[in-house]
Amino acid sequence: MIVVVIIGLLAALAIPAFQRVQQVARNNRFISDLRTLTQAFETYALKNGAWPGNAGSGVVPPGMSGEIRDDFWRLKNSLGGNWNWDYNNFGAVAAIATVNVTVSDEVMRAIDAKIDDGDLTSGHFRQVAANRFSYILE
């Protein structure tokens, strides 16, 4: 009986730590994917002299099929949201957005603190609408 209680206590301590590690891994995956996408869009702009046209959520922007995998863009990202390309939308000339994320604003602030200024109302990474977060390229 004592052994069962000890195992239960150890599990109670380990589960929250494991969940934090999982969330940090998802955040890092999102940041890595965002950097990869940033590089792909900047490469496209350098090659073509302009950003690709606007595209809806989960729709690969025109001309980007050779730069990013279609299935990657269409699938949910590590935060449970969809990728979206904004061209001349939401106050930015060019931005990579994630929409309909399933994580809290606290998680999004933690991501912002890693890649920007930690404030979702300013900087390159910001919340531009309800449940819409953009990394502004221009």
Numbers of helices and strands, H then E, in the chain? 3, 4
Q: Please determine, for residue 17, whether its predicted confidence score (pLDDT) is greater than 90.
A: no
2-136 has which fold?
Glycoprotein, Type 4 Pilin (3.30.700)
Q: Please determine, for residue 117, whether its predicted confidence score (pLDDT) is greater than 80.
A: yes
* Predicted local confidence at residue 84, as pLDDT: 96
Taking the alpha carbons at both ends of the chain, their separation in whole angstroms is 63
| Domain residue extents for the chain | 2-136
Distance CA 77, CA 96 (A): 13
Mean pLDDT on 108-136: 95
